[in-house]
Amino acid sequence: MLKLQKVKKSYGRKMVLDQLDLEVENGTIFGITGGAGAGKTMLCRMIAGLIPADEGKIMAAGEDMAHDPENIRKKVGYVPKEFGRYRDMDPEEYLDYYGRLYGLSGEHTGEKIEKLLEMVGLAAQKQVQVEKLKLCEKKRLALARCLLEDIDVLVLDDFLVDLDPRERKEIDPLLFQIRDMGKAVLISSPSFSALTGEEESLGILQEGKIVVQGSLEEISEQVNRSNPLELVIAEKSTKAIEVLKEEDTVTRISIDGHKILAGFQGTQEDQVRILRCLMEQGVPVISFQRRKSDLESVFWKMTE
Amino acid sequence: MKLQINPFLYREMRRYAGSRKFYIWLFIYEAFLTVVTGVGYHIALHTSWDQIMNYSGAAYVYFILAGILGLIVLLIVPSFAAGSLASEWEDRTMELLLAASVKPSEIVVGKLLSSVCLAILLVVAGMPFLSVAFIVGGIQKKHLIQFLLLLVMESVFIGSIGVSLSAACQKVDMAGLQSYAASMGLFVGTALVAVVVYIIERTSQGGGDIVQKGGFGGVMLILLFNPLITMASLLTDQMGYRNKFQELLCVLGPVPEFVMMHWCLISILIQMMVSIILLILSKRKVEKYYL
User: In this structure, are strands A285-290 and A229-233 parallel, antiparallel, or unpaired?
Assistant: antiparallel
Contact A106 B103 (CB under 8 A): no
CA distance B62 to chain A (A): 38
What are the strands of the beta sheet with A209-214, ordered from one edge? A76-79, A153-156, A184-189, A29-33, A201-206, A209-214
User: In this structure, are strands A14-24 and A184-189 parallel, antiparallel, or unpaired?
Assistant: unpaired
pLDDT at A103: 85
* Domain ranges, residue B55: 7-287
Domain count, chain B: 1
Residues 76-95 of A with CB under 8 A from B: 76, 78, 80, 82-88, 93
Is the predicted ipTM greater than 0.85, yes or no? no
Q: What is the pTM of this model?
A: 0.80
Q: Which amino acid is at B169?
A: C
The answer to whether B52 faces chain A, any CB pair under 8 Å, is no
Q: Alpha carbon A215 to chain centroid distance?
A: 10
Which domains are seen in chain A, by residue range? 2-222 (3.40.50.300), 226-293 (3.30.70.100)
Q: Would you write out chain A's pLDDT as a tens digit for each of its 304 residues?
A: 899 999 999 888 888 888 888 889 999 999 898 877 788 999 999 999 888 899 999 998 888 888 888 888 889 999 998 888 888 899 999 999 999 888 887 778 889 999 999 999 999 998 899 999 999 999 999 999 999 999 999 999 989 888 888 888 889 899 999 999 999 999 998 876 667 666 678 888 888 888 878 877 777 776 666 778 888 988 877 888 888 888 888 888 888 888 888 888 888 888 899 999 999 888 889 999 887 766 666 666 666 6
Residue A121 gets the label, from left (phi > 0), alpha (psi -120 to 50) or beta, of left
Contact B91 A85 (CB under 8 A): yes
Angle formed by the axes of helices A107-119 and A91-101, nearest 10°: 130
Residue B2 domain-assigned (yes or no) = no
pLDDT at B164: 96
Low-confidence ranges of chain B (pLDDT < 50): 1, 211
- Residue A155's closest CA among A238, A216, A236, A72? A72
CA distance B99 to chain A (A): 6
Residues 22-61 of A with CB under 8 A from B: 45, 48-52
Residue B1 domain-assigned (yes or no) = no
Contacts made by residues B187-190, CB under 8 angstroms, sequence distance 24+: B187/B74, B187/B226, B187/B227, B187/B228, B190/B222, B190/B223, B190/B225, B190/B226, B190/B229
pLDDT at B181: 95
Angle formed by the axes of helices B55-90 and B227-238, nearest 10°: 160
Strand, coil or helix: B54: coil
Which chain A residue's Cα is nearest to B92?
Answer: A84
Residue B183 domain-assigned (yes or no) = yes
pLDDT at A132: 93
pLDDT at B16: 82
pLDDT at A138: 94
Which chain B residue's Cα is nearest to A70?
Answer: B101
- Residue B69's closest CA among B109, B19, B108, B33? B33
Sign of CA dihedral B220, B225, B227, B230: positive
User: In this structure, are strands A184-189 and A55-60 parallel, antiparallel, or unpaired?
Assistant: unpaired
pLDDT at B211: 47
Q: Alpha carbon A47 to chain centroid distance?
A: 16
